[in-house]
Amino acid sequence: MTLASRMAPPMGGALPDQCSKKLLLMRSRSLASSQIFLRKLSLRRRLHSRISMDWRSGSESMKLSELIESICVRSVSGSLDVNVSGVFFDSRKVVDGGVFCALAGQGDDGNQYIDAAIENGAVAVISGQPYASEFPVTWVQTDDPRLAMGIAAANLEGYPSRELPVIGVTGTNGKTTTTFLIHHLIESILHRAGLIGTINYVIGDEFEDAPHTTPESPELQKLLREMLDSDCRAVAMEVSSHGVTQKRVAGVSFDVGVFTNLTQDHLDFHGGMENYFEAKAAMFTAMDLDSSKKGVAIINADDSYGERLRKRNFERLKVYTFGRSAKADFQASNIRSDFDGTEFKLSFGERSFLVRTPLIGAFNVYNSVAAIASAYGVGLNLRETVSKMAEAPQVPGRLEAVGDRKINYRVFVDYAHTPDAISSVLRTLRDLGPNRIITVFGCGGDRDTAKRAMMAKAAEDLSDLCILTTDNPRTETPAKILEDVETGFQRHDYEVIEDRKLAIKRAIRLAEERDIVLIAGKGHETYQEIDGIRHEFDDRRIAVNFIREKAEGGER
């Protein structure tokens, strides 16, 4: 069914009363708004196609000179008049005609693999190093190979984000849920959308697992091109701080940028909260400098770092704030939540709406309002957008209820793996009025160690019993991680069970009537990484098995 036919009254139908006339007027306005959005999108694509009737439409490759256009080049050795077929950062994946970007990583240096890249067919190298005469290919030296790779990948794919509305969501917590909700709204109203995030990549009706929250730029630009060619109307994507710092989103033009919040995480990578904040803020600075679009920033007014971001002197960005405080442009109030969902009042200027969503909790109110504001930012009708929130999907592993609802206790699985996220989820569950909360959690290895004790305190403050266990130890010794976390407990009403499966079993066996069991940290993940090996492990499936076992009275 087309958007127009879905909005129109039945053929030959009469309008018997004033109420029906008002309803038709509302539908007409909604249809008009959606049609305006689609006309603008179509015009943008037609205008850009005049510029980008590039190598795709006429030939099978493009020239190296075109590929490096707009890259700040220090020197070139060799011919730029060579055909190129792709941009690569992994020498093992290079094919004939490929351009190899030699990136310096934390534990490795791509310059060590130039020989292998050339053997696999590379015709050019982009590097931060001066030309090495032993390599018989064109050598492009630049001060920032990662930035160059992003621009080259965008050039190769014809800058798809300039034709496709892109909504980028950044922040510590809430990115995945917010992008899922934005994707849902676009799909519901415009029928086809793209999604790039932690759980999966979605192109229309096609899904694939996501190896990274924000892919490296060659993969990202390919995804955007596929989404554009598949007639996606817009894309919602998570933008991680790693993705910004490592220039993975270089060459992406954002229509809307969302800042959810900022709390402690990834300090092992960024070195401190200020660096972490600047990594998030960099996306908005880039949007402000992007002359190809008039960007919109959606910023959490109730977050202290969001307030700092709002006060920046953006010249081109239109800034909207969201939150519960009266100063927010999109304000949520009168929040009521139970096991079946949440409803709240949304105020925007002189207008107000009743929003209903099946998602639970105050933190999901923030995610919902951010999604609604984002949809408004790309031109969708506000009233229709609000109505679609009632059909919001369950985000995998995000406060996901598991097990048979006939049991007299509840079990939830959530991805919360920061102190703030643990606190937010537990406050939401506490507001539901349970008898007790039993929390199973751990901390990941090879990550920010400073938050480990803070995780214990956050869990202990709002739980009746904590069961400390492993998360993804990665290459660290599980016992050492558990010792670090234990230092944060102030009371002694907690248990330590290193085996995560046994910890989940223990929590479920302890659960009594009106208790809530929260299994935190891994959410949607279907593996547990130990000593660098990923073993099959799904909190949700394991919990369901133990719930069933308990109901049957078995021990197994």
Paired tokens of 184: 């849902």
Q: Which amino acid would we find at residue 285?
A: T
Check if CATH label 3.40.1390.10 holds for domain 59-156: yes
Amino acid symbol at 535:
H
Q: How far apart are CA 319 and CA 330, in angstroms?
A: 11
For residue 493, what pLDDT band results from cuts at 50, 70 and 90? Answer: confident
Task: Decide if pLDDT at 441 tops 60.
Answer: yes
Query: What confidence score (pLDDT) does residue 405 get?
Result: 84
- pLDDT digit string (tens) for 512-542? 999 999 999 999 999 999 998 999 999 999 9
Cα 371 to chain center, whole Å? 12
Q: What is the architecture of the domain spanning 400-550?
A: Alpha-Beta Complex (3.90)
List, for residues 269-320, the tens digit of each pLDDT value. Answer: 656 889 999 999 999 999 999 999 999 999 999 999 999 999 999 999 999 9
Say what the pLDDT of residue 553 is. 84
pLDDT per position as a tens digit, 104-125:
976 789 999 999 999 999 999 9
Residue pair 149/89 in contact (Cβ under 8 Å)? The answer is yes
Distance between CA atoms of residues 146 and 152, nearest Å: 10
SS3 for 329-394, per residue? CEEEEEEEEECCEEEEEEEECCEEEEEEECCCCHHHHHHHHHHHHHHHHCCCCHHHHHHHHHHCCC
Q: How many Cβ atoms sit within 10 Å of the Cβ of residue 223?
A: 22
DSSP state for residue 280 in the 8-state scheme: H
Res 16: pLDDT: 36
pLDDT in tens, 21-58: 433 444 444 455 555 555 555 545 444 443 333 334 33
What does the alpha-carbon distance between residue 520 and residue 398 come to, in Å, rounded to a whole number? 9
Contact by Cβ (8 Å): 547, 407: yes
Rounded Cα distance, 57 and 543, in Å:
52
pLDDT of residue 271: 67
Query: What are the pLDDT digits (tens) for 260-270?
Result: 999 877 666 65
Task: Using a pLDDT cut of 90, give the percent of the chain over it.
Answer: 83
The CATH classification number of 160-391 equals 3.40.1190.10
Q: Where are the domains of the chain?
A: 59-156, 160-391, 400-550
At 225, which helix (H) or strand (E)? helix 217-229
Mean pLDDT score, 474-490: 97
Secondary structure tally for the chain: helices H, strands E: 19, 26
Dump pLDDT digits (tens) for 340-380: 999 999 999 999 999 999 999 999 999 999 999 999 999 99
8 Å CB contact between 537 and 528: yes
Q: What does the pLDDT look like over 404-417, one tens digit per residue? A: 888 999 999 999 99
Q: Do domains 59-156 and 160-391 have the same CATH topology?
A: no
Strand arrangement of the beta sheet that strand 235-238 belongs to = 206-209, 200-203, 194-196, 235-238, 166-170, 256-259, 296-300, 318-323, 330-338, 341-348, 351-357
* Neighbour-count burial of 231, counting CB atoms closer than 10 A to its CB (0-12 exposed, 13-18 middle, 19+ buried): exposed
Average pLDDT score over residue span 215-220: 97
